[in-house]
Each structure stands twice: as C-alpha cells, then as structure tokens.
Structure 1
Amino acid sequence: MSRSERLLALLQVLRSHRRPVSGQVLAAQTGVSLRTLYRDIASLQAQGADIEGERGVGYQMRPGFLLPPLMFSAEELDALVLGMRWVADRGDAALARGASAVLAKVGAVLPPDLRRDLHESALLVGTGPGRAPPGPALDLLRPAIRERRRLQITYEDAAGGVSRRVVWPFALVYFDQSRVLMCWCEGRNDFRNFRTDRIRQAAPMDGVYPGTRQQLLREWRRRRPDHGQSLLPETDSSG
C-alpha cells in the first residue's frame, strides 16, 4: 500500500467513527503499527485535516472536512478516469466539456506520481456500432431535472404517431444505444418513459412540479417492481 493509499484509508476510518477512537483501534483497522499511525495522523493534520485528540486519549475528525482530491487509491483513480472518458466520449457536448474539465482539475492538484497515472491510464473507451443518437434536447433536459421544471414536449413514437405532453422529468437513463427520460405525465396521470432522440420539441414551463425527484423515483420503483425491464430502450412508452 502506497503512502497516499494509507492516508486515504486512515481518513475513511476516522470518518466512520462518531466518537473519539484510540490509536490502537485505528492502527488495527488500518493495518499499520502504532508508530506509523501517529506519524500518519500528524501528516494529515499538517495537510489541513481537522483531527482532534492526542496519544492515550483518542482521535476524532471534526465534521465538514473535505477529502482532498489527491487522496485516491489506484482503483478510485482508474474509476474516475474511465468514467470521465466515457462521459466525454458518449455524453452531449456540455457533459463532455464537464468531464474533460474534471480530469484537468483533478490532474492539477495530484502529486506527480498520481498525475502520471492519471495521464497514462490504459483504460480506454471503445468505439463501435449502435451508439446512441444525441437527441436535440439533452442539454435542456438535464437542467429541467435538476430544477424540477415541468416540460411541454412533442414526442414521436416508434410508429410515427405524434403527441404533446406535459411532464415532470425526474431522471435520465443512459443506455449504450439510447437515452431515456423518466417522467410523470400529467395527461396520462402515470409514469412514462421517453426516448430522447424521439423528442421533437421541449420547452420548460413556469413553476416547479410538487415533491422531489427522489420521491418520484421511489414511487416509480414501488409501482414497477420489474423496473429492471421496464426501461428497455426499445420501449417508447407512448401510450
């Protein structure tokens, strides 16, 4: 285990304890000697971690400390790189810019060894057939979800039928071959899913819909115990 990984593990253990915990317990949970533990705590305090306590009394990290981005394990760094590269390759233009900016910001504050691992990562996103069409409204749909905006959409189903709906968007699902907008449909008084590449027009309406995104998602799951199948991209849910 590298020093960075060891310090990360110690931070995670400290964050899991609500009350002061002895050095012996921390050393056992992180798999280091007591001497190394004391040295690591001093290093974290020097880097700004608000850890209170002393030898023989116990240690506790005050709430509100943000984990600095330099504290990544190898697996976490791989996950970050692969995820951001996938978004940069498969997301809409705004998400792609955001993903590239995240990697640049993280790389700017990493220590040299981890910065090298970030830039030289061998985890790549492959290209192939069946990539999802971008759809005309993704950069409008995501803010509408965040802000709980009612939307008026014009939707064309698989048979070519066109309908206008007023919906409450609460989630956006990314499949390899499509993007699916999850909504409460006012006209159908029920949940409906819409492929974003079949949304011909979308416009936000005044005001926000009642409740929260999380409440709508929980209710959808309650009504759809088979929800693993009900979001298949072949289903346009135009009924």
Structure 2
Amino acid sequence: MRRADRLFLLIHALRGRRQAITAQQLAQTLEVSLRTVYRDVADLQRSGVPIEGEAGVGYLLRKGADIPPLMFNPDELEALVVGSRFVRAFGGERLGRSATAALLKIEAVLPPELRDRSARTRIFAPELENRIEASGLIDVLYGAVQGRQLLKLTYRDGEARASEREIEPLCLSFWGGSWTLGAWCRLREDYRSFRPDRIVAHVVTGETFADSRERGLDGYLRSVGAQGLER
C-alpha cells in the first residue's frame, strides 16, 4: 500500500469516532506494524492534522475536524457492505484488500445510525481457504488480463484430456459457483472460455498483445452472446 493511501485510511479510521481508537487497533485495520502507526500519526500531527491522543492511550480527531457524511440511504449502504463482502470472498486477494479499504473509507464518514445499520447486515460471504480464490490464481489471471500479457497454460478439458495452450486473456467472469477466463486461443485460432480450476500449470510469458477488433474483448463477448454485458 502506498504511504499516501495509508495516511488517508488512517485519517478516515479516526473520523466520526466518539471514543479513542488504540494504535493496536489501527495497526490491525491497516495491516501495518505499531511502529508504522506511531510514525504516521506523528507525521500527520506535524503536518497540522488535528489528531489528539498518544501512544498507549489512543487517538481521536479533534471535534469539529470531521467532514460531512456521504449521502447514502440505508439500502444503498447495505448494498455496498454486501458487495464488499462478496468481493472479499470471491474477488481474489488484491480486490479483496481494496474492497476492505473502500468500505473503511465509507464507514468512517457515516453518521452513527447508518454505521450501525452497516454492522447489522446479515448477508455474509465467508472467506474459505479451500476455494480457488484463496490460491492466488485469480489474482494472476486478472493481472494478465489487465496487462494484456500472453499466458501459456497446461489445461485439462471436461474429459481430463490435457493440452498446451497459448492464450490472450481478455476477461474474467464469475457465475456464482465458478469462474471462466475468456481468451483468444492461438492453438484453436478462435475465442475460448477456460475454467481456472482446470488449469494445471500456467506461465505469464511477459509478451503483450493488442486488444484488436478481430480478436479482442468485444469479439469475445459477441461470441458468447454477452455483447450487452455492462463493463
């Protein structure tokens, strides 16, 4: 996490609080060391941010230093909370961390009644270690999609037949119980959908490709009948 982002999150963790939050709690929330929290708080205080408190006691933003709350109604807030839980459970590690940070920013500026509503939301998406999202593979595949990087795969089809593929990854789709990786397959010279749980081995080659009209994302979406998909 960039230091500027960490300082921003630290300030938002302090906003709207009636009681001091300890350095230990801040360290756990931001996933940093106590030493980093102490250093960041001291730097913010020297910069003029009105943080009151001290190590061993806790920290608060001085009364009147808050910003106006975001204008969410209860249903909108619940949608954001539930959505962030699903992203944390199914979106891979990188997006999961980002969802947690985004929700922290939102909840930090909510009035108490909406913050309480957020805590009472009873729709959960448990994070389990035996799911593919916990393996790191979704992060790798999404990184290749974003970077337009050629992938080499050892892939098993539904009948357990293995093949070697070079693919240009175009998108990831989540269907509620499984993922598919949409790609242009250089072996088949056509669009194909690959299930990440059938990928035996993968290599990010470092070679990049262009997202062209002939074999890019729009063409893939048309091939699977999803040209109206929001993106």
Distance 1:69 1:225, change over 3 A: farther
**Does residue 151 of the first structure (1) align with residue 151 of the second (2)?**
yes
State the 1:133 CA deviation. 4.2
Q: TM-score, normalised by structure 1?
A: 0.56
State the 1:71 CA deviation. 2.4
Distance 1:178 1:227, change over 3 A: farther
RMSD over equivalenced CA pairs, Å = 3.1
**Does residue 117 of the first structure (1) align with residue 138 of the second (2)?**
no
Q: Encode CA deviations 1:81-140: one digit per residue, 9 max, x unaligned.
A: 11111222334333333322222222122233322222222333489xxx9644662120
Q: Give the distance between the partners of 1:78 and 1:190, measured in 2 at CA.
A: 41
Q: Give the distance between the partners of 1:139 and 1:112, measured in 2 at CA.
A: 35
Q: Give the distance between the partners of 1:83 and 1:69, measured in 2 at CA.
A: 20
The question of whether the paired residues in 2 share the 8 Å contact of 1:136 and 1:199 is answered with no
Q: Give the distance between the partners of 1:191 and 1:103, measured in 2 at CA.
A: 36
Q: Give the distance between the partners of 1:133 and 1:153, measured in 2 at CA.
A: 17
Q: Which amino acid aligns with 1:181?
A: L
The question of whether the paired residues in 2 share the 8 Å contact of 1:172 and 1:179 is answered with yes
Aligned to 1:211: 211
Q: Tell me the number of residue pairs that the alignment of Structure 1 and Structure 2 aligns.
A: 158
Aligned to 1:175: 175
State the 1:227 CA deviation. 7.8
**Does residue 137 of the first structure (1) align with residue 122 of the second (2)?**
no
State the 1:210 CA deviation. 1.0
Distance 1:195 1:165, change over 3 A: same
**Which of 116-125 and 141-150 deviates more?**
116-125
State the 1:153 CA deviation. 1.2
Q: Give the distance between the partners of 1:69 and 1:210, measured in 2 at CA.
A: 43
Q: Give the distance between the partners of 1:169 and 1:81, measured in 2 at CA.
A: 30
Distance 1:207 1:162, change over 3 A: same
Q: Based on CA coordinates, which of the two structures has the bigger radius of gyration? A: 1
Q: Which runs of 4+ in 1 moved over 6 A?
A: none
The question of whether the paired residues in 2 share the 8 Å contact of 1:137 and 1:202 is answered with no
State the 1:217 CA deviation. 2.6
Provide the secondary structure at the position in 2 that maps to 1:168: strand
Q: Give the distance between the partners of 1:175 and 1:206, measured in 2 at CA.
A: 29
Unaligned runs of 5+ in 2: 1-67
State the 1:148 CA deviation. 1.1
Q: TM-score, normalised by structure 2?
A: 0.58
The question of whether the paired residues in 2 share the 8 Å contact of 1:153 and 1:199 is answered with yes
**Does residue 194 of the first structure (1) align with residue 194 of the second (2)?**
yes
Aligned to 1:49: none
The question of whether the paired residues in 2 share the 8 Å contact of 1:137 and 1:199 is answered with no
Aligned to 1:223: 223
Q: Which amino acid aligns with 2:196?
A: T
Q: Give the distance between the partners of 2:82 and 2:180, measured in 1 at CA.
A: 22
Distance 1:226 1:82, change over 3 A: closer
Q: Give the distance between the partners of 1:125 and 1:138, measured in 2 at CA.
A: 17
